[in-house]
Structures are given as structure tokens and as C-alpha cells.
């Protein structure tokens, strides 16, 4: 087994047979900043959620089997250098980019925070270990990241997966606000890759959902909100603007424990399995 790299959340190894082993850690990141504070049992939850979604949504993917509670074996692919984001609700950075005129939306779109979009929007970004940036179809094509056919395929299938997952989440009492997916190529076929779990989407409770307000989240949005409320998000951006690496603060134990609890709650309600 050969160590390949350590990402924001998981460590990746190449096995002797050419497949990959994902080791999901308890690490957490937000606003593209890694934190030293660990989230209890987060690696287990991410591994279990990834297995559940790969099996449930039936989209051709790279999953082979789950090895241990926090390790998964997948097929090695040539990853497509685009993160496929689908937004179903008007929330997060999407709002600020709209205010700054970076994106356009239909005139009759409800622009209150957390309002449901008329249709899910494909909003891809670059793929980076440091800081992902929004990207348009024209830019993706100009940089030769994908072909026109591949971009259209990614858009259509990402939205289909989002809609499928939304139905499953809704039955469990959740709203899937947005979703980040990654794809790769293997023997000429595009497969769903990476992982799918609370680090790849925003998920809200239907019982407390209310347009115009910050939502009760069952994902790492809880951490983002905590950071933003204390000025860290702004500080991270200011550091990057002057070429400095953002410095992550220590997280309080009650916050890390609450994140763990919400991850576990979401897993049990969506899968119907006891963690």
C-alpha cells in the first residue's frame, strides 16, 4: 500500500491491485481552512454516509466496498478537475455573488435567504486543495478542463442526483439545500467519485425551516455560521487577499460535539439504521 496524499478530510492510499483506499478522518475544514480540532466519530459517519449514498442513488460510481468503520476501497479514476455544485435554495455564498453581480438569476426568483429556487442551479467550481473558485461553462471549456459534451453531461447528471437525493432526504424530514459532487473517468466512462456526506452538502430540518432566516443545519454549516458570527470568515478572506495563509482558531468542545451529534442524527434518520 502506497500513501498518495492527505486531503482536507481524508487520507488516500493506492493498493497493490491499483484501487484506492480512502481513510476518513475526524478532521474538519470550512472556508477552505483546515482545523486542528477534531469532530468525534466524524470519519465513521462520513464513511457510512458515502457507502449509503453510493448504493442508494444507483448512479454508476467508483465504490467497491467498505473495509472498516472509517475505510473504503474505491476504483482509481482520472478525476475531472471540476467540483459539480447544485444549488436548490438561495443561500450561502450564492447570495453574495448575486449581490456583487457575479451571477444572474431569473427575474422572478425569490431572493430571501433560504428561499427555494424555481429549479436547481448547476454552479460548478474549480477543484483545489486550497481555495475553490466558481467557474462558468465558457471558462471550463477555454481551460480545456472538459469538452462541451462532458460539461453538459455533468450538469444534467448532477442535477438528477440532487433531485434523487432530495426525495430521499425529504422522506426523512430534511431539506437538501445544495450538493457538491465529483466525477472521474475510467475506461472512457464517467463515474461518480470522491465521497457524499455532510461535508458535501447543506441539509436542513424541515420542522424548523423558515424562509428569511438562518437554518438549523445537519452538516458543517454549523461551523461556518460559528466562524462567520465571530468574524473569522472575513479574516480568512483578508489574509488570502494579501497572500497570507488563514490561521484556524481552536474550536470549543461543545461545538465539535454538537456537530458530531447532528451528523449522527442525520445518518440514523435518513438511513433508518442505528449508528
Has residue 42 been placed in a domain?
Answer: yes
Same domain? For 102 and 160 the reply is: yes
CA dist 106 to 94, 119, 124, 237, Å?
14, 10, 18, 29
Instruction: Report pLDDT digits (tens) over 171-181.
Output: 999 999 999 99
Cβ-contact 7, 65 below 8 angstroms: no
Same domain, 56 and 125: no
Looking at 51, 74, 97, which one is the last position of a domain?
74
Given 74, 105, 138, which residue is the final one in a domain?
74
**Do residues 36 and 126 both lie within one domain?**
no
- Look at residue 248 and tell me if it is in a domain: no
pTM, to two decimals: 0.92
Does position 210 have pLDDT exceeding 70, yes or no? yes
Query: Is position 23 within any domain?
Result: yes
Output the pLDDT for position 65. Answer: 98
> Count of alpha carbons within 13 Å of 204, Cβ hemisphere only?
19
Number of domains present in the structure of the chain: 2
204 and 104 within one domain: yes
Whether residue 26 is found in the same domain as residue 101? no
Given 32, 54, 74, which residue is the final one in a domain? 74
Pair (155, 123) in one structural domain: yes
Q: What distance in Å separates the CA atoms of residue 89 and residue 176, rounded to the nearest whole number? A: 9
Q: Which domain range does residue 219 map to?
A: 78-238
pLDDT-derived band at 129 (thresholds 50, 70, 90) equals: low
pLDDT in tens, 8-18: 899 999 999 99
How many Å apart are CA 48 and CA 221, to the nearest integer?
20
Would residue 184 count as lying in a domain?
Answer: yes
Query: CATH number, domain at 47?
Result: 3.30.200.20
Query: Mean per-residue pLDDT for 184-205?
Result: 96
Q: Is 244 contained in some domain?
A: no
Which of 7, 43, 41 lies closest to 24, judged by CA?
Answer: 43
Mean pLDDT in residue range 109-131: 89
What is the rounded average pLDDT of the residues 65-73?
97
pLDDT given for residue 107 in this prediction: 87
Q: Is residue 16 part of a domain?
A: yes
267 located within any domain? no
- The whole-number pLDDT of residue 68 equals 96
CATH number at residue 105: 3.30.470.20
Using the CB atoms, write b or e for 163-190: b if 16+ within 10 Å: ebbbebbeeeebbbbbbbbbbbeeeeeb
Asked whether residue 51 falls in the same domain as residue 170, the answer is: no
| CA–CA dist 20, 140 (Å, integer) | 27
Give the DSSP H/E element, type plus range, for residue 263: helix 253-271
Q: What does the mean pLDDT of the chain come to? A: 95
pLDDT, position 151: 97
Please give the pLDDT value at position 123: 96
Amino acid at each position: 500500500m502506497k500513501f498518495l496524499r492527505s486531503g482536507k478530510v481524508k487520507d488516500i492510499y493506492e493498493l497493490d491491485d491499483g484501487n484506492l483506499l480512502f481513510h476518513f478522518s475526524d478532521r474538519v475544514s470550512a472556508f477552505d481552512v483546515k482545523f486542528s480540532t477534531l469532530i468525534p466519530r466524524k470519519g465513521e459517519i462520513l464513511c457510512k454516509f458515502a457507502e449509503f449514498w453510493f448504493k442508494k442513488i444507483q448512479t454508476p460510481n467508483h465504490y467497491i466496498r467498505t473495509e472498516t468503520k472509517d475505510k473504503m476501497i474505491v476504483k482509481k479514476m482520472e478525476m475531472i478537475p471540476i467540483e459539480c455544485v447544485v444549488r436548490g435554495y438561495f443561500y450561502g455564498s450564492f447570495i453574495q455573488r448575486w449581490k456583487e453581480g457575479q451571477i444572474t438569476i431569473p427575474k422572478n426568483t425569490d431572493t430571501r435567504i433560504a428561499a427555494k429556487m424555481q429549479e436547481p442551479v448547476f454552479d460548478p467550481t474549480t477543484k483545489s486543495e486550497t481555495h475553490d473558485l466558481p467557474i462558468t461553462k465558457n471558462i471550463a471549456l477555454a481551460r480545456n478542463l472538459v469538452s462541451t459534451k462532458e460539461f453538459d453531461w455533468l450538469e444534467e447528471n448532477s442535477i438528477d442526483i440532487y433531485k434523487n437525493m432530495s426525495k430521499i432526504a425529504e422522506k426523512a424530514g430534511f431539506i437538501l439545500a445544495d450538493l457538491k459532487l465529483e466525477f472521474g473517468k475510467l475506461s472512457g466512462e464517467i463515474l461518480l467519485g470522491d465521497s457524499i456526506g455532510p461535508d458535501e452538502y447543506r441539509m436542513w430540518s424541515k420542522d424548523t425551516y423558515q424562509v428569511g432566516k438562518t437554518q438549523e443545519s445537519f452538516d458543517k454549516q454549523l461551523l461556518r455560521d460559528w466562524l462567520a458570527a465571530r468574524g473569522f470568515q472575513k479574516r480568512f478572506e483578508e489574509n488570502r487577499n494579501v497572500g497570507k495563509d488563514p490561521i484556524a482558531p481552536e474550536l470549543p468542545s461543545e461545538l465539535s460535539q454538537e456537530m458530531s451529534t447532528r451528523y449522527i442524527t442525520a445518518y440514523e434518520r435518513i438511513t433508518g439504521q442505528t449508528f
